[in-house]
Copies of this chain bind each other. A is one copy, B any other.
């Protein structure tokens, strides 16, 4: 560290200009390191643990995110079970359990993953995943410990023939270090997977921003997932997968040179194992081949063969300027896996009964060197409104289905016809339930002119109508506005893509709505005319002195003409 320390002499003379209340020495004695766990214990609202209601949801969210990430990385079709059980004798305390069929966790890693904030595998790589910070699940455990004094319990089994272990993990918040126990157990009937249990203070509710809604939205954006939810009253909801296909495997990419900052470049030059600057540029960045490396070195007036460690600050600045001035291909999009237009419609169909579905996946684009993709889906119109009663009856025959129907109605995603559209936001397939108004997605939806697509839209508000607007951003690094990952920051590139995708879907929706209106007005006209045909028949009968048979023939003919001329 190169710091020389020696006692300071004569720190304050007797004739100091002002009578000191506290001296620099006294202040120095109070200086100390703050562990990141202490910091987030005190500031836990930053992580989404501000109220018991939100804390319960945040804990479920973090555990489900981790389970899904692990399954997908291991190429396993996720089968996730979420349980919430009230703890007997302690009002407002729940046990949350999340169990997956994933690859399990290596024993030595369990304590760190669950008992240390800022620990994980996803922070340092550039590849799409739900988790990205290494804070979530350990923060949930810390919150549980804070409010109930109980450690996190983890079970893990790495495969059919592997042993099962059970761990308890606490966080020593002063040191941000785990304190754990482990033992081998018999995990009956389990082939492989991980189970996390956290006792925590919480408040269980249904409806908007509830655990139930969160899981339903997970099912929408992840049609490959099987989800089981057992709520505190013991009711079980199962979301079956709508597809056999796993999301495309994503590759880890190197950073793109155009996103690098001076300080980072300096650090990379110092830390690289490459012998020359040309090799450093080619191997530590994506989209830099020998030709581009040469061009950058030439522009910066640095020899391609310079040793990276020997590049001084001024030369680094020149190198950075040269990188920015060089045309370099956009980064590969293999690191991100959008849901896809079919996947979005599958997901929406599965959980939203609507009349019309449309979706759009835009191509990959770059911000700050990170590729990202925007997707929009819309479900519009309540089919129940036109279904005949008998059909509706058939659909909801058995008890289980009826119950499910009731629950769906309770948490129905489709807005009422005279209400603002329901906006559902996702980042890397994770539903975002809070801070809607602070989110770039919301701004983009509001900024879109929905009137042009035949919808009502009050100034500065969401459009009105029986619809769900689904928006997904997939990226290797989603720029959230806070650690609790609730809203996306306003990057111009992102907002632009959002608007384009929304407009493309909006145009298609507009065509559908106009067609529907035409249809409706046609029905109305026909109904109107057919109502008067018998009267015309009677009038003709009187005027022309027809008999009843002739009259009926005339009415039939008029009806026939009407039907042929106003075909629908």
Contacts and interface: CB of A to CB of B under 8 A. Distances in A.
Interface of A: 1-6, 8-13, 15-25, 27-28, 30-36, 38-39, 41-43, 45-46, 50, 70, 73-77, 90, 103-109, 111-113, 116, 118-121, 123-125, 133-134, 145-150, 158-163, 173, 177-182, 191-192, 249, 261-264, 266-267, 313, 316-317, 438, 477, 479, 481-483, 489
Contacts of A25: 106
A4 B107 CA distance: 9
Question: Lowest 3 CB-CB distances: which A-B pairs, in order?
Answer: A146-B263, A28-B106, A30-B121
A360 B249 CA distance: 62
Contact of A178 (B3, B133, B163, B267): B3
B32 A121 contact: yes
The copy count of this chain in the complex is: 2
A287 B455 CA distance: 61
Contact of A145 (B112, B134, B263): B263
A103 B70 CA distance: 53
A103 B8 contact: no
Nearest to A19: B75
A76 B16 CA distance: 10
Contacts of A438: 438
Nearest to A175: B1
A262 B199 CA distance: 13
A135 B38 CA distance: 13
A107 B5 contact: yes
Contacts of A267: 173
Contacts of A116: 33
A2 B180 CA distance: 6
A281 to B, nearest CB: 18
Nearest to A123: B34
A309 to B, nearest CB: 15
B16 A159 contact: yes
A111 B11 contact: no
A22 B251 CA distance: 12
Contacts of A90: 317
Looking at A3, A9, A21, the one whose CB has the most chain B CB atoms below 10 A away is A3
A18 B118 contact: no
Contacts of A316: 149
A109 B11 contact: no
Nearest to A112: B31
Given A31-B109, A34-B119, A76 B158 contact: no
Contacts of A19: 75
B34 A106 contact: no
A139 to B, nearest CB: 13
14 contacts: A2-B179, A3-B111, A3-B180, A11-B158, A11-B159, A13-B159, A15-B160, A18-B77, A27-B103, A38-B123, A146-B263, A147-B263, A148-B262, A149-B316
A437 to B, nearest CB: 9
A306 B389 CA distance: 71
A39 B118 contact: yes
Contacts of A148: 262-263
A90 to B, nearest CB: 8
A274 to B, nearest CB: 18
A301 to B, nearest CB: 16
Given A73-B21, A192-B16, A149 B118 contact: no
Contacts of A42: 123, 477
B1 A262 contact: no
A296 B15 CA distance: 50
B33 A119 contact: yes
Nearest to A70: B27
Nearest to A271: B174
A74 B26 CA distance: 10
Contact of A3 (B158, B182, B249): B182
Contacts of A39: 118, 123, 133
A24 B75 contact: no
Looking at A16, A161, A177, the one whose CB has the most chain B CB atoms below 10 A away is A16
B27 A107 contact: no
Contacts of A483: 43, 46
A310 to B, nearest CB: 15
Given A18-B74, A177-B1, A159 B10 contact: yes
B107 A181 contact: no
Nearest to A480: B43
A28 B105 contact: yes
B8 A158 contact: yes
A327 to B, nearest CB: 22
A165 to B, nearest CB: 9
B34 A124 contact: yes
Nearest to A168: B2
Contacts of A74: 18, 20-24, 27
Contacts of A145: 263
Given A5-B107, A146-B264, 18 more contacts: A1-B178, A2-B181, A4-B182, A11-B162, A13-B161, A18-B77, A21-B75, A23-B103, A24-B103, A27-B105, A33-B116, A34-B118, A34-B134, A39-B133, A45-B481, A145-B263, A146-B262, A438-B438
